[in-house]
Chain A
Amino acid sequence: MTAPSLLLEDVTRVHGTGETAVRALDGVSLEVMPGELVAVMGPSGSGKSTLLNLAGGLDLATSGRVVIEGEDLSTLGAKGIAQLRRRRVGFVFQDYNLIPSLTAAENVGLPLELDGVRASQARRQARQTLDLMGLRDLSDRFPDQMSGGQQQRVAIARALVGSRRLVLADEPTGALDSHTGEDVLRVLRERCDEGVAGLLVTHEARHAAWADRVVFLRDGVVVDSTGRASSPEDLLATGSSR
């Protein structure tokens, strides 16, 4: 049986202590399988960002387990978590976070270089990733020579360069118009269709609908989930489709 790329087991995160303690997440369990894109929705303050930070090892759970590709984060030290983050997890943010003085290929290759890969090899792998995602034309462009949508697609390439197969996206379409946002989601969807696992935080239902399932958070608790998707055959058999 395939192991989940990301597993959260009864995860709780409490900020502060005593009277002022706030439970940002409370007993959340969630798994994301390879090839699956899961969207997290919920109102402001519901714990979406906390969930993403815990899933990416940027924050540690007060209790419960966070497991990335079989590695329990609580058993790794700070160094181990940092290494796991560099090698296994890619982040995509609302504001792209590309380095302005580097070309697209250099930006995409940067995580590999930070992990000790030689610059030439990192650049080669970066170009391969950009090619694979149909972004070859952008390789030598600097961020200010690209549109927002192009920058975000490059950011997704950066999140997935090398051996990383888990992408955590925090409102990746937040700064984009409707059509461009859709292009970005399509790229993310295609990567997941090819085996990458994705966790997408969004407040837009229309964007969450690109995921295989949607998990609702409210007050730090998972209150509902849409369940796994219907097959295309089922969809074609419904009354609202042909």
Chain B
Amino acid sequence: MSVKQGLMALLADGPMYGAQLRAEFEDRTGGTWPLNVGQVYTTLARLERDGLVEPTGEADGEGRISYRLTQAGTEEVGTWWTTPVDRDSTPRDELTIKLALAVTVPGVDVQAVAQTQRTATLKHLHDLTRLKQQVMRKQREAEGAPSGPADAAKHDEGNHDLAWLLVLENLIFTAEAEVRWLDHVETRLHRESLRPFRRSGAHTTALPDDAGDHAGTRTEARR
């Protein structure tokens, strides 16, 4: 995640100082990717050096300097919105690496590795779903509330809830994909274990005898 682009996108909303940027970033993304304020100020310094942001004036009474986008910065943010995120590079994923190693290192119970992970991922998925339910309940309550002078503030809060909901749903879909992949891993390992030329290894001894549509093989296995 590019902190630089995130901070610039926030500044498109109006001038802000470092701590404010950090708070807004975390609020709009549900605190999913926490920033430390030092990271924010370092990034602002680089952006200023590159002519993408500039201070709005002198420090205020509490020593805080607000920043705004320059014209070049505004253009860069515009380009960011319309350019797809680069998916060419493959991020290092610990679980994928762990399972890839588990099937090649003797003595590892791959089924247990996959099952333990699936339980943990489902638990995480469940927690995310409960948080999503809370946000959705809040939205429904807000929809039912009478309108009044505080509508603009409510609108802002509603947008922040929507942002948080989208982040949550991304995490939910990612966790779901992981569970599906782990299901697939088990089936794949099972099929591999049935191949006659397969050397007997750690993952072939610990596999379930039912990894999908092989109900008929169960009777044999239980004799």
Chain A interfacial positions (CB closer than 8 Å to B) = 19-23, 43-46, 186, 189, 204-206, 208-211, 213-214, 216, 218-220, 223-227, 229-230, 232, 235-236, 238-242
Chain A residue numbers with a CB within 8 Å of B218 are 22-23, 219-220
| Binary interface encoding of chain B residues 191-218 relative to chain A, with 1 for a CB under 8 A from any of its CBs, else 0 | 0000000000000000011111111001
Least Cβ–Cβ distance between A2 and chain B, in angstroms? 22
| Binary interface encoding of chain B residues 38-74 relative to chain A, with 1 for a CB under 8 A from any of its CBs, else 0 | 0000000000000000000000000000000000000
| CB within 8 Å for A224 and B115 given contacts A214-B122, A241-B30 | yes
Least Cβ–Cβ distance between A172 and chain B, in angstroms? 16
Least Cβ–Cβ distance between B119 and chain A, in angstroms? 5
Chain B interface, >50% SS class: helix
Chain B residue numbers with a CB within 8 Å of A43 are 183, 186-187, 210-213
CA of A220 to CA of B221 in the docked complex: distance in angstroms?
A: 13
A242's nearest neighbour on chain B, judged by CB, is: B31
Within 8 Å by CB of A206, from B131, B176, B209, B212, lies B176
Q: Are A242 and B164 in contact (CB under 8 A)?
A: yes
Tally chain B residues at the interface, Cβ within 8 Å. 46
Least Cβ–Cβ distance between A238 and chain B, in angstroms? 7
Contacts between chains A and B (CB distance < 8 A), count: 107
Least Cβ–Cβ distance between B6 and chain A, in angstroms? 16
Q: Are B126 and A211 in contact (CB under 8 A)?
A: yes
Chain B residue numbers with a CB within 8 Å of A224 are 115, 118-119
CA of A208 to CA of B215 in the docked complex: distance in angstroms?
A: 23
25 contacts between A and B (CB under 8 A): A20-B219, A22-B215, A22-B219, A43-B210, A43-B213, A44-B215, A45-B214, A205-B121, A205-B175, A206-B129, A206-B176, A209-B172, A218-B208, A219-B208, A224-B118, A224-B119, A225-B119, A226-B126, A230-B127, A232-B130, A235-B127, A239-B31, A240-B127, A241-B127, A242-B26
